[in-house]
Homo-oligomer: A and B are copies of this chain.
Amino acid sequence: MNIGDAARATGLPAKTIRYYEDIGLVTPARDDNGYRRFNDNDLHKLGFIGRARSLGFTIEDCRALLALYQDKDRASADVKRIAQQHLELVDAKITELQAMRTTLGHLIESCAGDHRPDCPILADLAVAPGKEAS
């Protein structure tokens, strides 16, 4: 199975798969012509990585998770810890974005959005002493 087929099978772009090989996440065999040859195990790993990435795990998290996945003597606590740390990061990000969202929402509401130059959004950015929600 060549890289194009692997890409179609996993839903990952071929470029991404090459990158994953570069950084040592997968190690497909090579045909005599130099083409990468992907077996079921490679595909499985790529799928694993793709799903972990879609949950927002970093590449290094993926590397650790894959190692644990392949370690039959792992402790599930090790996996859980990685996931929990990641969850905390996600939560922090959500909180930060929601704060932005709130402020942005207030500013947008307060702006007429017409042809006149008066704009509370700019006024707030110009000074912003913390009184955006009156």
Q: Residues of A at under 8 Å CB distance from B?
A: 44, 47-48, 51-52, 54-56, 65, 68-69, 71-77, 79-81, 83-84, 86-87, 90-91, 93-94, 97-98, 100-101, 103-105, 107-108, 111-119, 121-122, 124-128
A–B Cβ pairs within 8 angstroms, 28 of them:
A51-B124, A51-B125, A51-B128, A55-B100, A56-B97, A56-B104, A65-B122, A68-B119, A71-B117, A74-B119, A75-B116, A76-B115, A76-B116, A76-B117, A76-B122, A77-B113, A77-B115, A79-B113, A80-B119, A80-B121, A83-B104, A83-B107, A83-B121, A86-B104, A87-B101, A94-B94, A94-B97, A94-B101
A91 near B87 (CB under 8 angstroms)? no
**Chain B residue with the shortest CB-CB distance to A104:** B87
A65 / chain B contacts, CB cutoff of 8 Å: 122, 125
